[in-house]
């Protein structure tokens, strides 16, 4: 980590400089895909790589901006596209910006108050995720990586547990070869957890 200004490039979705490379495979997504049978069958075939994150290390304090690259690989579990775990920020009143570099996908979002939104990600598009909105990237391409640059406040933190317990209100499934946004039949209100 350096405390003077720096630049880096992005080559085929990978930053030319980074500090952490995080990989997430099918096994960390237990209970997150709607079709449990399809999930079990996929896992029996192998613990496939779903997504990767390249992070540049910065102090996790207010005033800093954490940033890096997220790559969601293409694939399906049943009819459901490969996606990230998704999270609220532990410090709920913190936002995030995503800039899509390659591929095609959707960001599924919701607030604790019950609002939801799904926005398309495609190259050159910027997505602003306001404070309070949980977010999950979904790769809706059948053959291309979904690559995004992200930046969020240093003190945001991650709350994965809420989404692990209740899921997102909306799912993105492939129907007739195209992405469709559907209600998640397994979504549970916080009071029911």
Q: Which residues of this protein are in contact with Fe ion, per CB under 5 A?
A: 96
| Residues 97 and 128 sit within 8 Å (Cβ to Cβ) | yes
d(Cα 173, Cα 73) in Å, to the nearest integer?
Answer: 16
CB of 82 to Fe ion, least distance (A): 18
Beta strands in the chain (DSSP E): 10-11, 14-15, 20-25, 49-56, 65-72, 76-77, 80-81, 96-102, 105-110, 116-121, 126-129, 134-139, 146-153, 170-175, 178-183
d(Cα 101, Cα 136) in Å, to the nearest integer?
Answer: 17
Residue number with CB closer to Fe ion (35 or 91): 91
Q: How many CB atoms lie within 10 A of CB 88?
A: 22
CB of 118 to Fe ion, least distance (A): 16
Residue number with CB closer to Fe ion (89 or 170): 89
CB of 154 to Fe ion, least distance (A): 12
| Residues 92 and 111 sit within 8 Å (Cβ to Cβ) | no
Residue number with CB closer to Fe ion (13 or 86): 86
In the bound state, the residue with its beta carbon closest to Fe ion is: 96
What are the φ and ψ backbone dihedral angles of 56, each rounded to 5 degrees? -100, 130
Residue number with CB closer to Fe ion (94 or 173): 94
CB of 155 to Fe ion, least distance (A): 12
How crowded is the C-beta side of 59, counted as CA atoms within 13 Å?
A: 6
CB of 89 to Fe ion, least distance (A): 6
Residue number with CB closer to Fe ion (82 or 98): 98
């Amino acid at each position: 980590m350096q405390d003077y200004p720096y630049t880096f490039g992005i080559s085929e979705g990978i930053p030319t400089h980074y500090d952490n490379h995080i990989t997430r495979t099918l096994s960390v997504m237990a209970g997150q895909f709607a079709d449990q049978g399809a999930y079990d069958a996929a896992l029996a075939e192998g613990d496939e790589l779903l997504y990767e994150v390249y992070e540049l290390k910065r102090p996790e304090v207010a005033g800093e901006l954490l940033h890096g690259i997220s790559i969601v690989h293409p694939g399906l579990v049943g009819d459901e596209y490969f996606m990230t775990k998704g999270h609220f920020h532990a410090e709920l009143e913190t936002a995030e910006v995503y800039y899509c570099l390659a591929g095609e996908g959707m960001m599924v979002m919701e607030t604790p108050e019950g609002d939801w939104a799904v926005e398309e990600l495609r190259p050159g598009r910027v997505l602003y995720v306001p404070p309070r909105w949980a977010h999950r990237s979904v790769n809706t391409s059948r053959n291309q990586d979904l690559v995004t640059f992200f930046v969020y406040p240093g003190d945001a933190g991650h709350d994965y547990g809420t989404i692990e317990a209740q899921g997102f209100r909306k799912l993105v499934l492939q129907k007739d070869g195209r992405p469709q946004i559907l209600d998640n039949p397994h979504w549970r209100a916080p009071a029911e957890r």
